[in-house]
A and B are shown apart, each in its own frame.
Chain A
Amino acid sequence: MIWGVLQFPGSCDERDALHACEVHGDGARLIWHESRDLDGLDGVVVPGGFSYGDYLRAGAIARFSPAMEAVAEAAAGGMPVLGICNGFQVLCEAGLLPGALLRNVELRFRCHQVELVEEGSGERLSIPAKHGEGRYYAPAEMLDQIEANGQVAYRYAEGHNSNGSVRDIAGVSNERGNVLGLMPHPEHAVDPLTGSTDGLRVFDRLSRGAFANHGDGNPPR
């Protein structure tokens, strides 16, 4: 599996994402935001940071970059795409994922280790979160729809939803299950040296289609 990691002006987690992809797969390379070249890639990470200064709204400008246009096309073709933090915001703004990310409920930038619960398996993951605009929001009808479709991929464990996300949602996928957005940072949890390797599980599950919607109303397996 060869990964590509997008790099916008203002990205700051692309190096860790690159490292995580190298640990998980067979190689990875950075893709500058002005490039459309995804040749030879099997998956793409849209990393965290503050793309284009987060001007207007987080992720609002990045969605119009040539690299993101190429990613949207590749995603439509079924390529696995993982958006982390700012990358999640970009994918929501681009309409590749449902919902939006709002300012944290207490207006504070939060930086701490969080426990996530994987929908379906109930597996618990410990990975870092660091964001000021991580409060997942979607209107009630949309939420009911994505829950019915099995698109909720991760929720904050009890007591870990510090940003006020609706229904404790930390990560969602698209209907097809090949595009995943996650507010906490799996790319920072791939080495025992930093306390947890649970983040690799996210890369692994996405790469083997584990978030695919099975159309039976059941959560992803």
Chain B
Amino acid sequence: MLIRPKEGILDPQGKAVERALPALGFEGIGQVHVGRMVELEADDPERLAELCEKLLANTLIEDYEIQTL
């Protein structure tokens, strides 16, 4: 599961990373957002959205995306 701050919500962590880049010689990088990734093994992937809604993401402030491997 990829969980990231909702669009439009100020993401100071992403901004801090973005501001550090020019000093390291990385130019032309913008719109940096920092989220988190949760890896898990599930017998029933059908219920993963419910898991995100109830616990892994706070949908007021975060969006989530489920990738099945």
Contacts and interface: CB of A to CB of B under 8 A. Distances in A.
B9 A137 contact: yes
B10 A105 contact: yes
B58 A106 contact: no
Interface string A34-78: 000000000000000000000011001000100000000000000
Nearest to A98: B60
Contacts, number: 30
Given A56-B55, A60-B55, A107 B12 contact: yes
Interface string A130-171: 000000011100000000000000000000000010000000
A106 B55 contact: no
Contact of A138 (B13, B56, B60): B60
Chief secondary structure at chain A's binding surface = loop
A84 B12 CA distance: 24
A137 to B, nearest CB: 6
Interface residues of A, number: 17
Interface in B7-46: 9-10, 12-13, 16
B61 interface: yes
B61 A137 contact: yes
Interface in B42-59: 55-56, 58
Nearest to A104: B12
A104 B61 CA distance: 14
Contact of A56 (B10, B56, B60, B61): B56
Contacts of A93: 58
A100 interface: yes
A99 interface: yes
A181 to B, nearest CB: 14
Contacts of A103: 12-13
A172 to B, nearest CB: 13
A2 interface: no
Contacts of A106: 12
A147 B58 CA distance: 22
Contacts of A100: 58, 60-61
Contacts of B10: 102, 105, 164
15 contacts: A56-B55, A56-B56, A60-B55, A64-B55, A93-B58, A100-B61, A102-B9, A102-B10, A103-B13, A105-B10, A106-B12, A107-B12, A107-B13, A137-B60, A138-B60
The 8 closest A-B pairs by CB, nearest first: A100-B61, A100-B60, A107-B12, A105-B12, A100-B58, A103-B12, A107-B16, A57-B58
Interface of B: 9-10, 12-13, 16, 55-56, 58, 60-61
